[in-house]
Amino acid sequence: MNGQGQTGAIVVVVGPSGAGKDSVIGFVAQHFAGREDIDFVRRVITRPSDAGGEDHESISGEVFDSRLSAGEFAVAWQAHGLKYGIPKQALERVRAGRILIANGSRAALGQFRQAFPRVAVVNITASPQVLASRLVARGRESEQDILNRLQRQVPDIFDEPDVTTIDNSGPLDIAGSRFAALVAGLHGSAT
């Protein structure tokens, strides 16, 4: 974790498609419902709002590029033909002492670590069989797209001291409870 003197932090959730990142984030959102010191980042994505998955702000590529040029994102990256952004307001919320949870990207972790004073990374994983079955059930991609996702090489992040890996191959409450404990520990607060 960076910036040990800070009370706020951003928890960046990463992992392969189909690992259940949105499900684990949803579990933690319910667990901490009503807590004003723990909040969630609504990403800006060049994907239709009705595409399923997370609640996000949907914008065109041109608008994204314009907002990026205007400095409106703390972190921005591209993946799978889409553009993703973390609004700059997230920095203010962390500096004010809040714990933010954001669905991120392994490839953008360097940007998160540069932009935010304190970062914790949660790497959600699942077995290859679970990943494949979840991607097929999601129904958003062709079989070839799924194979490409499963074979994609990703940066090796697992040796970094700010990374915690949680396996979400089994029941959601197991992975979700581990994640909730990590978030609670960032503030030194009880859940």
**Secondary structure in 3-state letters for 131-184:** HHHHHHHHCCCCHHHHHHHHHCCCCCCCCCCCEEEEECCCCHHHHHHHHHHHHH
Is residue 84 domain-resident?
A: no
Mean pLDDT of 112-122: 95
- Whether the pTM exceeds 0.85: the reply is no
Length of the chain: 191
Q: Is 20 annotated for ligand binding?
A: yes
In the block, which residue shows the tokens 């889409």? Answer: 82
Is residue 132 domain-resident?
A: yes
Structural domain for 125, as ranges = 9-41+90-185
Q: Is 189 annotated for ligand binding?
A: no
Is residue 33 domain-resident?
A: yes
Q: Is 188 annotated for ligand binding?
A: no
Is residue 3 domain-resident?
A: no
Is residue 1 domain-resident?
A: no
pLDDT digits (tens, 9 = 90+) for 1-42: 444 444 799 999 999 878 889 999 999 999 999 998 999 999
Q: Is 15 annotated for ligand binding?
A: yes
26-35, 73-82, 126-135: which has the minimum mean pLDDT? 126-135
Instruction: Indicate the SS3 state at residue 73.
Output: strand
In the block, which residue shows the tokens 């935010």? Answer: 116
In the block, which residue shows the tokens 């993703």? Answer: 84
Is residue 127 domain-resident?
A: yes
CATH number at residue 163: 3.40.50.300
Strand-pair partners of 87: 73
Is residue 53 domain-resident?
A: no
Asked whether the predicted pLDDT for residue 150 surpasses 90, the reply is: no
Which band of pLDDT confidence, cut at 50, 70 and 90, is reported for residue 48?
Answer: confident
Q: Is 18 annotated for ligand binding?
A: yes
The answer to whether 46 touches 85, Cβ cutoff 8 Å, is no
Q: How many domains does the chain have?
A: 1
